[in-house]
């Protein structure tokens, strides 16, 4: 049943669509504005010569079958088929344990054997630390993962494993992730399950969300850019929407419309949204109550300080084709001894329609340190050299090299440092990879963030 209230959503990425679908089902009148011709943000397919590349993601759900995203999709009534990875992962080690690369060959091990090489003492420490964290008997505070972990366990191989895992799943080094976040992620894999590949890839999730939004009366407009978020009396009153079709962009026209609503959700990140509203000289513009103004000023200043601390993660995805399947299973192949590539997967292990007949589509991901952004071409070259080493003697065709950083990053906020969904304005929330929940890898974090925002919204409006 309709609740008579209107929600406007800026951006049609996964966070915006999940929020929109849920609100539309709850009776809100939902309007989603997307400035591009493409729906789904960085979680969408791109057809290139019959290969289903993506705008960013890796055609994979991190936690199946009971993770946050699949649970929410089920609740929304989305028909999405996933194939749980089996095994979840393998790890490629150098053939000679003393080597630091794959030049003399490699040996793949099952992920459950990742501690096999460890000393008895280190294994015991690992068991103790895991047990204590699960029982909340230990608190690493604000220490980062490797710093914390190395106090108890000295094992270079495990640090490499942790880096390749963090690089693949968060586009960070393990020591850029708070220990609590990393431990929560590992606990969630045990609790919810590990990765699964999505039949049809990212777009099959997006098209289901679009169907749910539209069948519940919601509207999604493409080629409509939000150029300002308009504040009045201490809350958001409207947004200004500008037509951004090909014609508009060529002619640089400014056909603007003001759209009012009760609730505003932004899927474009905290900073990017902040840039859309008028910077007020710390005034809530609501009556003359000094106390109220003072409270707002404090909230606003605190928010600005939080924005200054946000860092976006960077990464490179290389999509390539081969005549034979180079990844032998439906899970993740971690490559901790490669120069840059952290891991790879292949969607055609479960869905051959994602590539032309007889071809396979494989994707690798590598983290890029923020200090390396000035020399991104060298980082790409290192990734390409890795692929040559990993598949030496095999014919591969590079289809696309995609870099994500800055304002179009892997994650708008380093995992573990998200600042929540709230803004200084009570009817404006942020969702997406700039407002993830704890312990959620990528899209799982986005979903946890969306669920948090929805619970706040329910409190506010019910």
Partner 1 sequence: MYVNDNCVGCGQCFAFCNQGAIEVFGKARINNLCTNCGICLTYCPLRAIEYVNKNGKGEI
Where along the sequence are the contacts to partner 1 (CB under 8 A)? 36-38, 46-48, 53, 55-56, 223, 244-247, 249-252, 376-377, 380, 400-408
| Closer residue to partner 1 (CB): 175 or 272 | 272
Q: Given the complex with partner 1, which of 6 and 372 has the nearer CB atom? A: 372
CB of 26 to partner 1, least distance (A): 29
Closest residue by Cα to residue 183 from 447, 418, 459, 415: 415
> Is there a cis peptide before residue 324, judged by omega within 30 degrees of 0?
no
Which is closer to partner 1, CB of 276 or CB of 400?
400
Q: Rounded to the nearest whole angstrom, what is the least distance from the CB of residue 5 to partner 1 in the complex?
A: 30
- Residue 37 Cβ, how far from partner 1 at the closest point, in Å? 4
- Report d(CA 198, CA 80) in Å as an integer: 8
Cβ neighbours of 97 (radius 10 Å): 9
Q: Which residues contact 189 (CB under 8 A, 6 or more apart)?
A: 62, 63, 88
Report residue 250 as tokens.
């060529």
* Smallest distance, partner 1 to C-beta of residue 173, A: 20
- Cα distance between residue 255 and residue 225, in whole Å: 10
Q: Please, is 334 exposed, middle or buried when counting C-beta atoms within 10 Å of its C-beta (0-12, 13-18, 19+)? A: buried
C-beta of 13 vs 218, nearer to partner 1: 13
Quick one: 118 or 376, whose CB is closer to partner 1?
376
Closer to partner 1 by Cβ: residue 86 or 377: 377
Please work out, in degrees rounded to the nearest 5, the angle formed at the alpha carbon of residue 459 by the alpha carbons of 453 and 462: 125
Task: Please report how close the Cβ of residue 39 comes to partner 1 at its closest, in angstroms.
Answer: 12
* Burial status of residue 115 (CB atoms within 10 A of its CB: 0-12, 13-18, 19 or more): middle
Residue closer to partner 1 (CB basis): 137 or 373: 373
- Closest approach, Cβ 390 to partner 1, in A, equals 20
Rounded least distance, CB 228 to partner 1, Å: 16
Instruction: Give the H or E element holding residue 246.
Output: helix 246-251
| Burial class (CB within 10 angstroms; exposed 0-12, middle 13-18, buried 19+) of 288 | exposed
Sign of the CA dihedral 336, 337, 341, 346? Answer: negative
Q: Which is nearer to partner 1, 223 or 335 (CB)?
A: 223
Q: Are 339 and 386 a contacting pair, CB within 8 Å?
A: yes
- CB of residue 405 vs partner 1: minimum separation in angstroms? 5
């Amino acid at each position: 049943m309709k609740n008579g209230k209107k929600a406007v959503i800026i951006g049609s990425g996964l966070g915006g669509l999940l929020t929109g679908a849920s609100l539309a089902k709850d009776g809100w009148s939902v309007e989603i504005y997307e400035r591009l011709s493409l729906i789904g943000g960085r979680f969408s397919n791109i057809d290139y010569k019959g290969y289903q590349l993506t705008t960013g993601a890796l055609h994979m759900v991190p936690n199946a079958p009971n993770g946050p995203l699949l649970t929410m999709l089920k609740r929304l009534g989305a028909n999405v088929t996933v194939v749980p990875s089996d095994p979840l992962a393998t790890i490629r080690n150098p053939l000679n344990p003393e080597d630091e690369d794959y030049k003399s060959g490699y040996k793949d091990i099952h992920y459950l054997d990742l501690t096999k090489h460890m000393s008895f003492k280190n294994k015991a420490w690992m068991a103790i630390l895991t047990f204590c964290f699960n029982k909340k008997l230990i608190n690493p505070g604000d220490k980062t993962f490797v710093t914390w972990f190395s106090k108890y366990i000295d094992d270079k191989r495990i640090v490499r494993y942790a880096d390749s895992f963090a690089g693949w799943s968060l586009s960070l080094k393990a020591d850029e992730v708070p220990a609590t976040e990393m431990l929560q992620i590992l606990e969630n894999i045990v609790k919810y399950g590990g990765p699964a590949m999505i039949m049809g890839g990212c777009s099959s999730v997006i098209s289901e969300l679009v169907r749910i939004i539209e069948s519940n009366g919601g509207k999604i407009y493409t080629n409509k850019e939000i150029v300002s978020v308009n504040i009045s009396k201490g809350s958001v009153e409207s947004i200004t929407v500008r037509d951004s079709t090909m014609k508009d962009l060529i002619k640089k026209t400014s056909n603007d419309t003001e759209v009012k609503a009760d609730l505003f959700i932004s899927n474009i990140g905290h900073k990017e949204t902040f840039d859309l509203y008028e910077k007020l000289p710390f005034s809530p513009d609501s009556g003359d109550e000094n106390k109220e103004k003072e409270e707002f000023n404090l909230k606003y200043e605190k928010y600005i300080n939080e924005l200054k601390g946000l860092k976006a993660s960077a990464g490179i995805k290389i999509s390539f084709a081969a005549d034979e399947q180079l990844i032998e299973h439906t899970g993740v192949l971690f490559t901790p001894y490669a120069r840059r590539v952290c891991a790879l997967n292949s969607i055609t292990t479960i869905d051959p329609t994602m590539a032309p007949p007889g071809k396979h589509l494989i994707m690798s991901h590598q983290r890029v340190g923020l200090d390396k952004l000035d020399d991104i071409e060298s980082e790409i070259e290192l990734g390409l050299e890795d692929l040559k080493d990993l598949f030496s003697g095999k014919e591969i065709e590079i289809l696309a090299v995609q870099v994500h950083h800055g304002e179009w990053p892997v994650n708008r906020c380093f995992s573990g440092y998200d600042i929540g969904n709230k803004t200084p304005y009570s009817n404006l929330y942020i969702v997406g990879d700039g407002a993830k929940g704890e312990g959620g890898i990528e899209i799982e974090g986005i979903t946890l963030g969306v669920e948090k925002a929805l619970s706040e919204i329910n409190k506010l409006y019910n």
